[in-house]
Structure 1
């Protein structure tokens, strides 16, 4: 057989084999389940979590009515405060004006209501939280107080936004002020049979805080559920399949991909750090932008895990550290004990998450209620003014809240009504004079 004929036969065989292989590839059906995008998305969210809006998470911690005769009162039922705030959010505010003279509040006579927020808020958030015209231009300022005149005869500037640290005031008119103010007064007069009296007390920098003279708070016990950690691995690590884990000490597990790490404490709390993103930059994030991107980040994995009488609300918006914190609140009272179990904290750098820490417990309904006797206001003031330890501190705030503690045998958590003091190191439990041993006992650390 000639060599040319052999080459032709071989070439024909190769072409035929290629054709058969091509048909086999076309007709091969691998036994793989189709990828379900929805299922993948579900793995990256908390199944029992929710999304939130700025209107809901930006809330005052206190509402004080300043009445004639130097009387300071408020609602015994804290849910009434939230009801009033939601009512105000529906008002139409217009004709905003900025006063830099420091005299914006001097014209305010009783009666008026004061809403006190736990952190400084950028002025432009007013347009997101309240009802204002889209063309309204707001100044580059901030506020942590809102004052609403309850004088039905006042013709303008019924609402004032002000920071306790600044003389700048932002004032606005209310559309149909007589109707809205009447509704506030009617709500207070008809819905509050036994109002709480507040005692004004001056703290650092001539700031005044208001201490409730008598509050009916009870110690509560809750069963709880563990929030699974798995969705956060998908959210926080670029490639979750590369993440390895190790138990460093009992009940403490460390997850890492070499660049990022997440520490998982006793299934109840986690803290994440992006070690590659640790070089602090000088980027300037505006307050509203910082809050917006934090809210979006938590919403993207349904990170709001509260329901019923407890929720998370904005407690700190720090532009210099690019940190946003949300504190657990129960029935309107903040939970100060143990940041690990009461605060969601997010820190940004280079437009990415640098640190993220949060509790991973979800409290069920209270199943046990015990009476709790609190120190009266006179005792609080006497200790602050006579204790050498407290006199040496710079007191920034005094508040009633709940102390969150694990119950016996790790079967439940309890909330105990407690007085708290804030200085530059954070919030700490108030210790009466007769319980002090060798100085102030800080049961919480820096919170």
Structure 2
């Protein structure tokens, strides 16, 4: 009898311990922040180049200092780094939406005097930006912004205001930063703005105000010997069973890699890759912050970042992301897709992945040359002469590099050119009277 009671006691104790373990597992379980399925993306542990953090991918395209009368601006990467280093020190708090303004007041918030207007090339999710700067708020809006406006008109002993602005949607969020940072910001950016940066003028296009440089100036033309990433690295990274992949030649310069469900095409003439996963469930809506994070992690998993790429377009509705190559702080464009990393996502899996296979090998400094570029006035004059041009469709105008292949030895030239964004697409500004768009002269 005593032995039976002992066995009952031991069994009861085991049941109690098992119950405690199960309870602990339930309490300690934390689901993933987003429905990203790593098992359906990169497969093998492949290291192509390097990983990237959010602050390396999300960078302003330029900033403007609005004085009492004049506006100064810069696209220089060193000047932008000086500003972002100041912002990295801030603790941003009291983020709240401001909806109490009319159109005139909106323009005053964004373009009024005593402002620093920090512009980004696409809409930036708050959820991604919190990995770059410090927010005191534990909960941030499920929203995006394409510029940050810093009000520097206050006193040194009063917290100053930040505006997170979605320009097209006319949405504004206000926030505060402690006054202790205002003096350093004014000393680093504002006090010598007129002498340090270029003068800019305002151009009205529909309900959008676009600021452009007043003066003509020269920009360096670059030539680089580029190397091509080994395609087999992507075959190992993107296919479940690389050994089961079949390679077919499609003409002299195209190769196709297929397994039972995925397809990858390589264009050796253009040095581009296109991967498609047809089984990924297409999604037409998703949170922009999650879209950015999973697109970054996807490339990080095979360490596929090369050279200097920045987030340049993010569309939460279509679940599309584009990262663009940059040269000397300016965006690079190529007619064949050799300056981009593009992704289109399904619910949890990548649907389409197209990208450049190029990476810088070494510059050819003996071939560097300075190219004169027309002013912002010249660019606008050329744009307004385009057939069927409608000002309300003009979204942005800026200088970028046009990347062209010189020879079969993968030598590429980077020419400075005026670009304009019209109805969501970037194009080279044509020269008045026709001819080569380089220089607008």
Do structure 1's residue 159 and structure 2's residue 162 form an aligned pair? yes
Within-5 A mapping of 1:118-157: 118-133=121-136, 135-153=137-155, 155-157=158-160
Deviations 1:256-287, CA, capped at 9 Å, x for gaps: 0132110111172100011233x5345x4211
* Aligned match of 1:241: 243
* Aligned match of 2:55: 55
State whether residues 46 and 227 of structure 1, in contact with CA within 8 Å, keep that contact through their aligned partners in structure 2: no
State whether residues 60 and 117 of structure 1, in contact with CA within 8 Å, keep that contact through their aligned partners in structure 2: yes
* Aligned match of 1:38: none
Local SS of the residue matching 1:138: coil
Out of 153, 169, 172, which is 2:172 matched to?
169
TM-score scaled by length of structure 1: 0.80
State whether residues 393 and 423 of structure 1, in contact with CA within 8 Å, keep that contact through their aligned partners in structure 2: no
Using the alignment, how far apart are the partners of 1:157 and 1:180 within structure 2?
Answer: 9
* Aligned match of 1:276: 279
* Aligned match of 1:67: 67
Using the alignment, how far apart are the partners of 1:171 and 1:60 within structure 2?
Answer: 19
TM-score scaled by length of structure 2: 0.81
Query: How far apart are 1:326 and its partner, in Å?
Result: 0.6
Using the alignment, how far apart are the partners of 1:126 and 1:281 within structure 2?
Answer: 23
Using the alignment, how far apart are the partners of 1:407 and 1:217 within structure 2?
Answer: 20
Local SS of the residue matching 1:315: strand
Moved more, 346-355 or 72-81: 72-81
CA spacing shift, 1:181–1:210, aligned 2, 3 Å: same
Query: How far apart are 1:229 and its partner, in Å?
Result: 1.3
Local SS of the residue matching 1:232: helix
Deviations 1:190-224, CA, capped at 9 Å, x for gaps: 698542111211224x1112212334311110111
State whether residues 224 and 413 of structure 1, in contact with CA within 8 Å, keep that contact through their aligned partners in structure 2: yes
Do structure 1's residue 429 and structure 2's residue 419 form an aligned pair? no
Using the alignment, how far apart are the partners of 2:434 and 2:339 within structure 1?
Answer: 26
State whether residues 203 and 209 of structure 1, in contact with CA within 8 Å, keep that contact through their aligned partners in structure 2: yes
Within-5 A mapping of 1:93-104: 93-102=92-101
State whether residues 44 and 232 of structure 1, in contact with CA within 8 Å, keep that contact through their aligned partners in structure 2: no
CA spacing shift, 1:281–1:331, aligned 2, 3 Å: closer
Figure out how many residues of one structure are paired with residues of the other and give that number.
Answer: 386
Using the alignment, how far apart are the partners of 1:42 and 1:289 within structure 2?
Answer: 21
Local SS of the residue matching 2:131: helix
Of the two structures, which has the highest relative contact order with CA contacts closer than 8 Å and spacing of 6 or more?
2
State whether residues 314 and 320 of structure 2, in contact with CA within 8 Å, keep that contact through their aligned partners in structure 1: yes
Do structure 1's residue 353 and structure 2's residue 353 form an aligned pair? no
Do structure 1's residue 256 and structure 2's residue 255 form an aligned pair? no
Using the alignment, how far apart are the partners of 1:321 and 1:251 within structure 2?
Answer: 31
State whether residues 384 and 391 of structure 1, in contact with CA within 8 Å, keep that contact through their aligned partners in structure 2: no
Deviations 1:104-130, CA, capped at 9 Å, x for gaps: 754675211111111112233342221
Gap regions ≥5 residues in structure 1: 1-40, 442-447
Within-5 A mapping of 1:388-403: 388-391=387-390, 394-403=393-402
Using the alignment, how far apart are the partners of 1:319 and 1:391 within structure 2?
Answer: 26
CA spacing shift, 1:158–1:375, aligned 2, 3 Å: same
Using the alignment, how far apart are the partners of 1:77 and 1:165 within structure 2?
Answer: 25
Do structure 1's residue 290 and structure 2's residue 291 form an aligned pair? yes
Query: How far apart are 1:250 and its partner, in Å?
Result: 0.7
Using the alignment, how far apart are the partners of 2:144 and 2:234 within structure 1?
Answer: 34
The higher radius of gyration belongs to: 1
RMSD of equivalent CA atoms: 2.6
Using the alignment, how far apart are the partners of 2:234 and 2:175 within structure 1?
Answer: 43
Local SS of the residue matching 2:393: coil
CA spacing shift, 1:240–1:144, aligned 2, 3 Å: same
State whether residues 43 and 231 of structure 1, in contact with CA within 8 Å, keep that contact through their aligned partners in structure 2: no
Do structure 1's residue 301 and structure 2's residue 298 form an aligned pair? no
Local SS of the residue matching 1:373: strand
Do structure 1's residue 110 and structure 2's residue 113 form an aligned pair? yes
State whether residues 43 and 237 of structure 2, in contact with CA within 8 Å, keep that contact through their aligned partners in structure 1: no
Using the alignment, how far apart are the partners of 1:339 and 1:159 within structure 2?
Answer: 39
State whether residues 224 and 362 of structure 1, in contact with CA within 8 Å, keep that contact through their aligned partners in structure 2: yes
State whether residues 283 and 318 of structure 2, in contact with CA within 8 Å, keep that contact through their aligned partners in structure 1: no
Query: How far apart are 1:42 and its partner, in Å?
Result: 11
Local SS of the residue matching 1:314: strand
